[in-house]
Amino acid sequence: MVFSRLFFIYIFLPLCLSAYFIARGTNAKNNVLIFFSLVFYAWGEPVYIFLMLFSAAVNYLAGRLIGRFGDSGKSRLTAGIAIFTDIALLGVFKYSGFIMENINSLFSASLPVPDIRLPIGISFYTFQTISYVVDCLWETVTPQKSFRKFLLYISLFPQLVAGPIVRYSTIEKEIEQRHSSVTDISYGLNRVILGLAKKVIIADQLSTVADSLLGGIENATAAAAWAGAAVYALQIYFDFSGYSDIAIGLGRVFGFHFDENFRHPFMCKDITEFWQRWHISLGTFFRDYLLYVPIFGKRRKYGGLFLVWLCTGIWHGASWNFVIWGLYYGLFIFIETLIGKKRMKRIPLVIRHIYSKAVIIVGFGIFYFEDLGKLGTFFRKLFSTGHLIGLQDKILLMNNLYLLILAVILSFPIISGIQKLSGRFCTVRTVSSLTLPFVSAALLLLSSVMLVDQTSHPFLYFRF
């Protein structure tokens, strides 16, 4: 099931909310969420729900055993088995075809290539189970004794299929006891509508422009290649941050406080800052669980950095362009680390912004092209000479000029700026509180109308 479907918005969600708020007590509310979460996941992939349940059972048992064994070799062995199982499942379902294709190519073999459909959200809930087991081993969380409550953590439908990656420590107390105030519900629903609008009104429309500019890369000009990658960067941002808004908003309605996953990443002044603002839950996961892993017996600063960015690329997909994408960003962060924060700050701000945006735009071009031949063409086009932009591409950009300007403006903290102003000035706060319901209603209506005739546009991060 997908958030940006009329069935979810007007049937599934109202039924879930009604049952949830009718239920009395946290245990009853948890049961409602587990039921609707399992229905949500099984709606499109009924078979793979057993895979998720198996993963939940393995990691729940591992947590219980680690709690029983304490600080001992048995705990470390248990954690190792659980993590190996998690990674093996992810490897089989996500990377087995990619691995066999490369073996065949490298050794001129003809081994059968498995064609396994990727279970939605497996990368997200696998990382959640890994973080839980490691935190139990490090004794930063108390192992959950109830499988039902642990299953709620793993299967919670707002963030199940495309994140953010929620740590158990973030919602540990709220699984046991929580309360949804009127303010929480109001904030959550408005956040859900905002996320839906980001997806339907902006991201899905940008996808048409990006595909038109980059789809025929062989005939594109340098300007079209740069413009296409820039539009695609905006599309990814509004698509994924829109999903995160919906997940965070739904969580708040149910009384859960998920961490933010995006903080206006295009405001960054360098690539290090970009990744402190973009997909924060993934970045902090790798930072906390992988960056300081001993390599050949020692913690190696640059070796850990290389490992993190290699895994960041691989996590995003079973294709070489994602590996290149991860190492590409890792290279620039490595360079910035060598330069140092103080010397980076001495570089004029304008130059830092131009540098960071150019790197980001090229990076999303790498992300777009899974075909390495087309990726090579994209790089050649970026620095080609000739016409600045073709007539057809120029017409396309002019016809979508208002959309592009709107996307650029809304990628900056306009809404949070208004919220800060409303906190300082009574008049702004009054106008904001009076107009917000009408704005939200208008966005919901417009999104719903656009969904009626819209071709299916699943959230991009579903495939990861």
User: Distance from CA of residue 9 to its chain's centroid?
Assistant: 21
Q: Identify whether the C-beta of residue 242 lies closer than 8 Å to the C-beta of residue 196.
A: yes
Three-state SS annotation for 282-318: HHHHHHHHCCCCCECCECCHHHHHHHHHHHHHHHHCC
Q: Is 316 a catalytic site residue? A: yes
Question: Is 123 in a helix, a strand, or coil?
Answer: helix
From the candidates 179, 264, 279, 316, give the one annotated as an active-site residue: 316
Q: Identify whether the C-beta of residue 365 lies closer than 8 Å to the C-beta of residue 210.
A: no
Residue 331 CB burial class (10 angstroms; 0-12, 13-18, ≥19): middle
Q: Identify whether the C-beta of residue 262 lies closer than 8 Å to the C-beta of residue 283.
A: no
Question: Is 119 in a helix, a strand, or coil?
Answer: coil
Closest C-alpha to 26, from 178, 157, 254, 182: 178
To which residue do tokens 């006891």 refer? 177
Closest C-alpha to 159, from 245, 76, 95: 245
**Cα torsion through 35, 36, 38, 42, rounded to 10:** 140
**Cα torsion through 107, 108, 111, 112, rounded to 10:** 130
- Beta bridge partners, 298, equal 295
Closest C-alpha to 203, from 447, 448, 425, 452: 447
The first and second tokens of residue 390, run together, are 């073709």
Closest C-alpha to 407, from 216, 235, 268: 235
Count the neighbouring beta carbons within 10 Å of the beta carbon of residue 241.
24
Mind telling me the catalytic residues? Answer: 316
